[in-house]
Amino acid sequence: MTLWVVRHAQPRVAPGLCYGALDLPAEPEATAHAAQALAQELPQGAEVHVSVLQRCKLLAQHLRGLRPDLTFKPEPRLVEMHFGLFEGVAWADIAQDAMDAWTADFWAHRFGGQESVAEFMARVAQVWDACLPARAAGQAQVWITHAGVARAASLLAQGQRTVLYAGDWPREGPAFGQWLRFLP
């Protein structure tokens, strides 16, 4: 069955700010609009795994009100990558040598000192693997999550679990309030 990977609505954040695990609220009106669109698309009885960050929980709350047939489960492993001391810092204010260190060792470097791409991919892969039996049994799965997680899911759908070079990380992902669908 299908896995839907849904990105939260536009967060309330200044443009150009580095945020991943920073717990920011989403725009309420955009969230309501995204929930309306998603409610019309999801199959009956889907299981919804929700990142524990408030921008995702808000979308889940709106969706729950529209679709009581869905089952909702909080999933802390679906939070965005943690950028450590760079959380909440403007990208333009992050030193070039910090960016260079990350791209030179993209897989293992802990950008901001908190989490590496390897650690991030491993936790997303744990959720991916845990959802496989339900999908194989015909249970539709939904993740309400973040752009980085959606990009990681794109790699996992292709059987790729390692990204050694920054240039190999997917650039495209769903827009705010949009989703990707992965077939079994």
Its pTM stands at 0.96
- CATH number corresponding to 32-82+94-182: 3.40.50.1240
Q: What is the pLDDT of residue 183?
A: 82
Contact 149, 21 (CB under 8 A): no
pLDDT reported for residue 1: 78
Per-10-residue mean pLDDT for the chain, 184 residues long? Answer: 95 96 97 98 97 98 98 98 98 98 97 98 98 91 98 96 96 95 84
Query: Per DSSP, what are the bridge partners of residue 180?
Result: 5
